[in-house]
Chain A
Amino acid sequence: MCYPRSHRRDLRPTDEDLSVGTLGRGHPAFVGMQALERERLPMSFAFTLFAAITVAGGLAAVLLKNTVHCALALTVAFAGLALLFLDLDAQFAGFAQILVYIGAVAILVVFAILLTRGSETPKDGVFSKNWFAGLVIAAGVFAVLGWAVLASAYALPGPGGAPTATPTVTVAEIGQALISRYVLPLEIVALLLTAALIGAVIVAMDEKERAR
């Protein structure tokens, strides 16, 4: 990823070298190191680590007994996903993942758990009776996702579908695309969210009147 060097007004001769960010990923030594790493290992160490965090969080979310613990473990899985996005140089997706999923969805899940039922562990375990149906659905979803991922690998340019360097997309480009090409999906999502918001307000109002 190239960190954008901002246009400083009064540049000093040593400015590019001085900047703290310069010694980051753009540094020749670092790039060389990365290239070496990529050649030797099919999967980078970072990817393995983040994938392990994500999978461990997901497993814990399913297997833990306490519901609030499950919600917190789910947050770990969200964080792992965000780290994976960042590892792929997808800054916007990564930060949006943290902001929306850890900042809002996890809190929502936790609130829902605390406000609806007690977070105490049920005596008869947390496993649902129709776990087999759940397993089949999960396997189906996983199969579809896996098929999509495997099919998309060949869409990338490169010899024999080998993964090439990740394209760098800046946040500004994402914004442009959202406003120009994908403006209709954006508006539809916005409409849906507004409808949900109004619906929530109406539900809350109704309850208040009944209480009186």
Chain B
Amino acid sequence: MFELLDQIFVLLKHSLVGFLPLWMQPVASVLVSVVVIICLFPALFALTTVLERKGLGRIQNRIGPNRTGPFGILQPVADGIKSLTKEDIVPSSADGVVHFLAPIVLVVAVFMGFAVLPMGRNMALVEMDAGLLFFFAMGASTELSVFMAGWSSRNKYSLLGAMRAVAQMISYEVPLLMSSVAVVMITGSLSLGKIVEAQNHYTWGLPHWYIFTPWGLAGFLMYAIAATAETNRSPFDLPEGESELVAGYHTEYSGFKFALFFLGEYLAMFSISGLGTTLFLGGWSAPFEFLSWVPSWIWFFSKLMLSICVFIWLRGTLPRLRQDQLMNFAWKFVLPLTMLNLLVTALWRFLGPGWEQWVYCSAILALAYVAMARVGMRAEHFGPRKYRYAE
């Protein structure tokens, strides 16, 4: 019964594809999965926009959208209809072709990332030998579309926003990759399916997720920081800082093209949360052994939505960073720590199971963190607040 529930989507697909002649089956199978992904995640995006607006409203002591449908649930439908029927304005000096292509390239590249995510047992579109590499390759190609949008608009705010976004994405891509490499070092495989399998073991009913190891915890925290910056979410949302840049690289987009940018941003959030879940939080495996009967896809999507809630919470809590703080944080704090984490991971691997690896690895990481934070704070010369202009 539970096994049936666990595999229900896979079985459904197979029975659906089974109606077709044999030579059509491979193509149809892929097509069905692609259509499901293309429908599912935008639906999740609609849900998340309500969740985000409601959640932010609560954090900021207001109610949030509550006019469209019961409790404002139909708000995304109204937004969708609005953006579909709005006029699509292209500035007369804009570069038409590039301006048109930019949102499409962004959404396509972001959707590609979902192809390798294992969303449940046997539920990955393609099980690739180099799945992680594929994911990052697709993630890297979104940067170009951001640049295309900013440059083709012929607007100084758009261009500044795009330059900021690209610089930020390149800076944080390095720690993002480096923190994932630690997982690859332990698993010995770039295949996301194998990474989940390696975490799907239990001791005393508790899971072997990588976040429950010293290097995994450090790696996960740095992955989360880099992922927040990579998706241009607050507190790293400088490229869209409305107090400085109107709306950043999508200032000159209206109607459905703007909706595509909005969609791309949230889809990137989903896919990067999905990858973080896969790498550090055990993917589709259950948090306790006695809960293993719950279908695997429920666990994957629960973890995904939990990460999204943390994103929303962070956005409601933290103020925006300054550009120099952003860059200093990436290159002088996160990157050295990820490098150290790689060494610690190697140490963990070669010390072998035992209490030594826990003590040594935790001690090294904690000491490095404290020392770097101390030195960094000292360099900033924090002291009593000085007012230079307003006295």
Residue positions of A touching B, CB distance < 8 A: 3-9, 12, 15, 17-21, 23-25, 27, 29-30, 33, 66, 68-69, 72, 75, 91-92, 95-96, 98-99, 102-104, 106-107, 110-111, 114, 119, 170-172
Contacts and interface: CB of A to CB of B under 8 A. Distances in A.
Contact of B127 (A3, A72, A91): A3
Contacts of A98: 137-138, 140-141
A107 B125 contact: no
B133 A3 contact: no
A9 B133 contact: no
A186 to B, nearest CB: 16
A197 to B, nearest CB: 12
Contacts of A104: 140, 170
Contact of B98 (A27, A72, A103, A107): A72
Contacts of A171: 129-130, 133, 190
B25 interface: yes
A27 B25 contact: yes
B140 A99 contact: yes
B254 interface: no
Interface in B1-57: 3, 7, 10-11, 13-14, 17, 22-23, 25-26, 29-30, 33
A99 B144 contact: no
28 contacts: A3-B129, A6-B193, A8-B197, A15-B122, A18-B14, A19-B122, A20-B13, A20-B126, A27-B25, A29-B22, A29-B25, A29-B26, A30-B26, A66-B95, A69-B95, A91-B130, A91-B133, A92-B133, A95-B134, A96-B137, A99-B137, A103-B136, A103-B141, A103-B173, A104-B170, A107-B166, A119-B151, A171-B129
5 cross-chain pairs, A with B, having the tightest CB-CB distances, nearest first: A103-B140, A98-B137, A23-B29, A95-B133, A21-B127
Given A20-B126, A114-B163, A119-B151, 19 more contacts: A6-B191, A8-B122, A18-B7, A18-B10, A21-B125, A21-B127, A27-B25, A29-B25, A91-B130, A91-B133, A92-B133, A95-B130, A96-B133, A98-B140, A99-B140, A103-B143, A110-B147, A111-B163, A172-B188
B140 A170 contact: no
B128 interface: yes
A107 B134 CA distance: 19
B200 interface: yes
A12 B3 contact: yes
B13 A103 contact: no
A104 B140 CA distance: 8
Contacts of B144: 72, 75, 102-103, 106-107, 110
B188 A23 contact: no
B155 interface: no
B136 A99 contact: yes
A23 B25 contact: yes
A4 B127 CA distance: 7
B94 interface: no
B233 to A, nearest CB: 20
B143 A3 contact: no
Interface in B224-280: none
Contacts of A3: 126-129
A172 B26 contact: no
Contacts of A33: 23
A107 B143 contact: yes
Contacts of A69: 95, 98
Given A20-B10, A102-B141, A107 B26 contact: no
A170 B22 CA distance: 29
A114 B156 CA distance: 13
Nearest to B124: A20
B122 A172 contact: no
Given A20-B122, A99-B140, A107-B144, A27 B26 contact: yes
Interface string B157-180: 001000100100010010000000
A27 to B, nearest CB: 5
Contacts of A27: 25-26
Contacts of A30: 26
B182 interface: no
A91 B140 CA distance: 16
Contacts of A7: 197
B309 interface: no
Contacts of B147: 107, 110
Contacts of B193: 6
Contacts of B130: 91-92, 95, 171
Contact of B122 (A18, A29, A111): A18
B128 A103 contact: no
B133 A23 contact: no
Interface in B168-223: 170, 173, 188-191, 193-194, 197, 200-201
A161 B134 CA distance: 33
A76 to B, nearest CB: 11
Contacts of A15: 122
B178 to A, nearest CB: 14
A30 B191 CA distance: 23
